[in-house]
Chains A and B, each alone.
Chain A
Amino acid sequence: AQSVAQPEDQVNVAEGNPLTVKCTYSVSGNPYLFWYVQYPNRGLQFLLKYITGDNLVKGSYGFEAEFNKSQTSFHLKKPSALVSDSALYFCAVRAYTGGFKTIFGAGTRLFVKA
């Protein structure tokens, strides 16, 4: 079955420290992978995507993600967290399920403490 998993409901990190939000996927064929961020009372905003090419993808607000085919992972990273990064983060994969659809993970809440 096509799926995406975010194993952590919540990630806590101190401001200035590096952060990682984990995502693993299970799809047949080549995966198209995405990260979105949701701030309170807002819709989701696209952060970055992996379609093909370099395994390290850079996106908005200093975020990056590394595609690892052997581990079927697409973890979101940032070298130095900001309090303003506190939000809900969704990983997503575009997969074929009787038609191409985007499957979203359950979300990971990131708390960055000052």
Chain B
Amino acid sequence: EADIYQTPRYLVIGTGKKITLECSQTMGHDKMYWYQQDPGMELHLIHYSYGVNSTEKGDLSSESTVSRIRTEHFPLTLESARPSHTSQYLCASSDGTSQIYEQYFGPGTRLTVT
């Protein structure tokens, strides 16, 4: 198992609430990613970061925001949760400096907005 952690693993929350999904990695990787995945379906990249103070939007438009103040930490925030945000959110990291390229994934956060 890779050293990348996500909390919480499961979250059920009401509409309109602000939520933050946590992601941390202890591998010193400079690149980090957030994917959205409906259960058993394809992955959609929603945010990525190539280093501290670097964040970019991914291929799928998302109302969420991210920050990268520390190398090891890449939280995702939803200011006002809606039922359409119900999904699984996967965080990943990779080492861009070593040219290894493969991504290491956390266990995911399954979000349900009621």
List residues of A whose CB falls within 8 A of some B CB: 32, 34, 36, 41-46, 49, 51, 88, 90, 94, 101-102, 104-107, 109
Contacts and interface: CB of A to CB of B under 8 A. Distances in A.
B74 interface: no
A73 B101 CA distance: 19
Nearest to B103: A102
A36 B106 CA distance: 13
Interface of B: 4, 6, 40-43, 45, 90-92, 101-108, 110
Given A36-B103, A90-B43, A109-B40, 13 more contacts: A34-B102, A43-B4, A43-B92, A43-B105, A44-B43, A44-B105, A45-B105, A46-B102, A46-B103, A49-B102, A101-B45, A102-B103, A107-B40
B108 A41 contact: yes
A88 B105 CA distance: 15
A49 B91 CA distance: 20
Given A32-B101, A102-B103, A107 B108 contact: no
B41 A107 contact: yes
B98 to A, nearest CB: 12
A97 B26 CA distance: 29
Given A32-B101, A49-B101, A43 B107 contact: yes
A105 B101 contact: no
Contacts of B90: 43-44
B104 to A, nearest CB: 7
Contacts of A36: 103, 105
A100 to B, nearest CB: 9
Nearest to B59: A101
A105 B44 CA distance: 10
B42 to A, nearest CB: 4
3 interchain residue pairs of minimum CB distance? A43-B105, A106-B42, A44-B105
A88 B90 CA distance: 15
A51 B101 contact: yes
A4 to B, nearest CB: 11
Contacts of A102: 101, 103
